[in-house]
């Protein structure tokens, strides 16, 4: 029996989901996609994601692969059919590609790109409600950028690691962190091969303390180098985090 391996690119609003992966306490993005696949392909399909996103986290470019014993010849028809059911849940499959049988969406990933979106103004957001972190106090962009520079490169990120993190080591290499500002909108873009559980939201929480003047740069550096989770600032909310893209 011939088997085919397909890679899909997925976009979703994570607000109503418990995250990417199956969980007992609610509906996940993975579960929703697998149920729709069963409707369209008439068989149970296991969809394996490139990375887990937490409850409330969004994605412009999540990737996943699945194996099936029949070729998908009409990709346009497949995408239209699957999205007919998924779009009601604010999930879209935006691309599908045939890959080699040994391809794995998670293990073959070379770089993951995440973006954290902050709305820095007095009044609460309406259009971007549940899609941004609303910070009222004026943030110092120069301090924010100085903080991100300290985080770039290879370090022990134990301070920013969740107690439930299953990674073998707290040592990661952040390839780059860029800060962009457009009026009251601030975007922090993180690139690395992989991240620890809650690492980005933990770092953003600490960067917010630094840039609003609650911490000095010296204090920020001390917290980072302490490797102690209990020194970390409160997590930035999940609603501001987006999985932007994955490079293979």
Q: Are 7 and 65 in contact (CB under 8 A)?
A: yes
Measure the CA–CA gap between 236 and 117, rounded to whole angstroms.
10
Residue 201 host element (H or E) = helix 199-211
More confident call, 20 vs 24: 20
State which H helix or E strand residue 33 sits in: helix 29-41
Domain 4-99 and domain 111-247 have a common topology: yes
- pLDDT of 23 reads 86
The backbone torsions φ and ψ at residue 88, rounded to the nearest 5 degrees and listed phi first, read -65, -25
Contact predicate 82/93, CB 8 Å: yes
* Confidence (pLDDT) at 99: 97
pLDDT tens-place string over residues 189-203 = 999 999 999 999 999
For domain 4-99, the CATH class is alpha beta
Q: Strand pairing of 91-99 and 153-156?
A: unpaired
pTM > 0.85: yes or no: yes
209: number of Cβ within 10 Å: 19
Residue 235: pLDDT over 90: yes
- What is the model's pLDDT at position 139? 98
State the pLDDT confidence band at 22, using cuts at 50, 70 and 90.
confident
Mean pLDDT of 44-59: 94
Q: Give yes or no for residue 59 having a pLDDT over 90.
A: yes
Domain boundaries, given as residue ranges, for the chain:
4-99, 111-247
* 111-247 CATH fold: Alpha-Beta Plaits (3.30.70)
Tally Cβ neighbours within 10 Å of residue 128.
Answer: 15
Res. 5: pLDDT tops 90:
yes
Q: What is the pLDDT of residue 1?
A: 81
pLDDT of residue 221: 98
Question: Residue 192's closest CA among 110, 116, 105, 248?
Answer: 110
10-22: average pLDDT? 95
Distance CA 248, CA 236 (A): 28
The model's pLDDT over 161-217, given as tens digits with 9 standing for 90+, comes to 999 998 999 999 999 999 999 999 999 999 999 999 999 999 999 999 999 999 999
Which residues are catalytic, by number? 54
Return the structure tokens found at 97.
Answer: 């590609």
pLDDT in tens, 146-155: 999 999 999 9
HSE-CB at 46 with a 13 A cutoff on CA atoms is 4
């Amino acid at each position: 029996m011939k088997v085919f391996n397909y890679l899909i690119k997925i976009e979703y609003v994570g607000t109503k989901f418990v995250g990417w992966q199956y969980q007992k306490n609610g509906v996940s993005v993975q579960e929703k996609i697998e149920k729709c696949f069963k409707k369209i392909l008439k068989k149970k399909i296991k969809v394996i994601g490139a990375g887990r996103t937490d409850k409330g986290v969004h994605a412009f470019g999540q990737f996943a692969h699945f194996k099936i014993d029949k070729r998908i010849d009409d990709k346009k028809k497949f995408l239209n059919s699957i999205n007919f059911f998924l779009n009601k849940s604010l999930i879209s499959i935006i691309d599908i590609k045939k890959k080699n049988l040994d391809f794995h969406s998670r293990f073959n990933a070379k770089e993951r790109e995440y973006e954290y979106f902050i709305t820095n103004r007095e009044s609460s957001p309406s259009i971007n409600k549940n899609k941004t972190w609303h910070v009222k106090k004026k943030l110092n962009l120069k301090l924010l950028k100085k903080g991100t520079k300290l985080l770039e490169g290879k370090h022990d990120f134990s301070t920013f690691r969740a107690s439930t993190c299953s990674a073998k080591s707290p040592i990661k290499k952040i390839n780059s962190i860029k800060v962009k500002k457009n009026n009251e909108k601030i975007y922090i873009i993180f690139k690395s091969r992989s991240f620890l559980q809650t690492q980005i939201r933990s770092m953003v929480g600490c960067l917010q303390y630094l840039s609003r003047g609650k911490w000095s740069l010296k204090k920020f550096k001390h917290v980072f180098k302490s490797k102690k989770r209990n020194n970390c600032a409160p997590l930035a909310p999940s609603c501001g985090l987006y999985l932007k893209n994955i490079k293979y």
